[in-house]
Amino acid sequence: MTELHFTLTEADRLPEAERETILANPGFGNHFTDHMVSITWTQEEGWHDAAVLPYGPIPMDPASSVLHYGQEIFEGLKAYRREDGSIVAFRPEENGRRLNASARRLALPELPVDLFVEGVRQLVTIDAEWVPSGEDQTLYLRPFMIADESFLGVRAAQRARFLVIASPAGAYFTGGVKPVSIWLSRDLARAGRGGTGAAKCGGNYASSLLPTRIAAEHGCAQVLFCDSATEDTIDELGGMNLFLVQAGADGAPRALLTPRINGNILDGITRKSLIRLAEDRGLAVEERDITVTEWREGVADGSIVEAFACGTAAVITPIRRLLGEDGLSIDFGEENSPGELTMSLREELTGIQYGVREDRHGWLSVM
Ligand code: PLP
Ligand code: COI
């Protein structure tokens, strides 16, 4: 264990009645718990000053590097309240490892994974009463790191801060588990070869906001990005990975298809967990290049039978259709009926997370 003692400054907690009102209908990302975690890094001292602090504004110099050159990375994971009242996080060390992969790409300092997990644990423990217990409710945890040096020269900052904040969450997409429409963005890309697409950095999300707005104007809940070179090979959604379900000759699901980790997409933890669960069931999983053309032809000839998006925030969300410019429309057609395999994988994954199914891969960490 990395030796770093967390100091504690107790917050004035939100009165219980107000907290309960929020927990009854938290939405997504609207409310924040009473505390936050902060750890400081400097080139000279490394990581130091680990603290649990009252949630609140962080003082920042207007010349702080994050404000000018976008040197920022983040993570997203959830804490779940199980039926016996205990609280678990799902694969937090995977998020810690991915934060470090992002840190390397963004020239930020790496944080020891045990310190990452301990920071998350400190926050979940002190704000445990904020972990909701309603159906599909969780405490969404947002660890992030910012460059925080007051210097306008363009180089990697010599001062950074790691913070963790937490927000009680209901479903990311409102309206229950209902198939969503997604919009294919061809002209506006999220990532290019050699860029930051594989990192979880704020800039990737900034560049996805305009295409997401265009998607919304077409009635779509999310935007799908393709490889910017081929404009046909599928990468991922603005904030989720994508899977297609392929049926065999008998019409039953035989394989999950998902874009390979190609350097442009996020190595999703939900994605890799679902690959494992599918393989456990004896399904084939093909991580490879998938094109929009293959999707369209597969739906037309009946070999592609389901599609879904997955990620921490979205869990597993069935996709009803893919729309795009020039009249592109690939439609599974059944407005309110999510695919069977999609729903069964969703049920299995959330069952593990909420402790009603066996955690056979040891994915849960008790907080
Ligand atoms: N892809 C992007 C761009 C994301 O923002 C996310 C969400 O974190 C994912 C994929 C899914 O990753 P994970 O399953 O680790 O949450
Ligand atoms: C997540 O699923 O944790 C994400 O980061 C997606 C989105 C909320 C940014």
Predicted TM-score (pTM) of this structure: 0.95
User: Do 197 and 191 form a contact (C-beta atoms < 8 A)?
Assistant: yes
Query: Which residue out of 144, 310, 312 has the highest number of ligand 1 atoms within 8 Å of its CB and is therefore the one to mutate?
Result: 312
Mutate to test the pocket of ligand 2, among 139, 240, 270, 271 (most ligand atoms within 8 A of CB): 240
Q: Are 273 and 279 in contact (CB under 8 A)?
A: no
Q: What is the pLDDT of residues 170-188, one digit of tens each?
A: 877 666 688 999 999 988 9
Of ligand 1's listed atoms, the one at least distance from the Cα of 236 is: 1
Dihedral, CA of residue 355, residue 112, residue 105 and residue 258, to nearest 10 = -20
What's the DSSP call for residue 314?
T
Residue 50 tokens, joined: 């680990």
The residue ranges of the chain whose pLDDT is under 50 are: none
The ipTM, to two decimals, is 0.97
Q: Which of ligand 1's atoms lies nearest the C-alpha of 98?
A: 15
The pLDDT score that the predictor gives to residue 175 is 63
C-beta separation of 208 from 248 below 8 A: no
- For the chain, the C-alpha Rg in angstroms (whole number) is 21
The confidence score (pLDDT) of residue 58 equals 96
Q: Which residue type, as a one-letter code, is found at position 205?
A: Y
At residue 60, the pLDDT reads 95
Q: Which residues line ligand 1 (CB under 6 A)?
A: 76, 236, 239-241, 266, 268-271, 311-312
Say how many Å lie between the CA of residue 238 and the centre of ligand 1: 8
Residue at 17: amino acid letter: A
Name the DSSP class of 302: T
pLDDT, position 1: 60
Q: Which residue type does 167 have?
A: S
* Nearest-angstrom CA–CA distance, 183 and 226: 11
